[in-house]
Amino acid sequence: MTIQQTIEAKLQDKFQIEYLEVANESHMHNVAPESESHFKVTIVSDDFSNLMLIKRHRMVNSTLAQEMQQIHALALHALTPEEWLAHTGKVTDSPRCKGGGKNQ
């Protein structure tokens, strides 16, 4: 199982998810082909209702504690269904890599 698949499975097991996207953004960085080092996670769940952003991130990070030791970066968008609708189903793009990225 890839790291991406593991992240997806663990989040699906832990949260009541309305929407989940786990994007491997490693290709945007100066890493070997097929790397799994940079991810962007968009997760929409009622589990985040009435929680500050830091608490949401801590919940996700603790769920992915083992994977966090293997990856370099995680861009995390943890939203309630209402917030997701307010964003019209979109989150911001990840910034370009500033550390020797391929797309500079």
Residue 51 DSSP class: -
What residue ranges do the domains of the chain occupy? 3-86
Residue 17 clears pLDDT 90, i.e. is over it: yes
Assign domain 3-86 to its CATH architecture.
2-Layer Sandwich (3.30)
CA angle 9, 60, 55 (to 5 degrees): 155
For residue 104, name the pLDDT band (cuts at 50, 70, 90): very low
44 class by beta-carbon count within 10 Å (0-12 exposed, 13-18 middle, 19+ buried): buried
Q: Which long-range contacts (CB under 8 A, 24 or more apart) does 63-69 make?
A: 63/10, 63/11, 63/14, 63/15, 64/7, 64/10, 64/11, 67/3, 67/6, 67/7, 67/10
Average pLDDT, the chain: 86
Mean pLDDT of 17-22: 96
Residue 100 clears pLDDT 60, i.e. is over it: no
For residue 96, name the pLDDT band (cuts at 50, 70, 90): low
Mean pLDDT of 48-56: 97
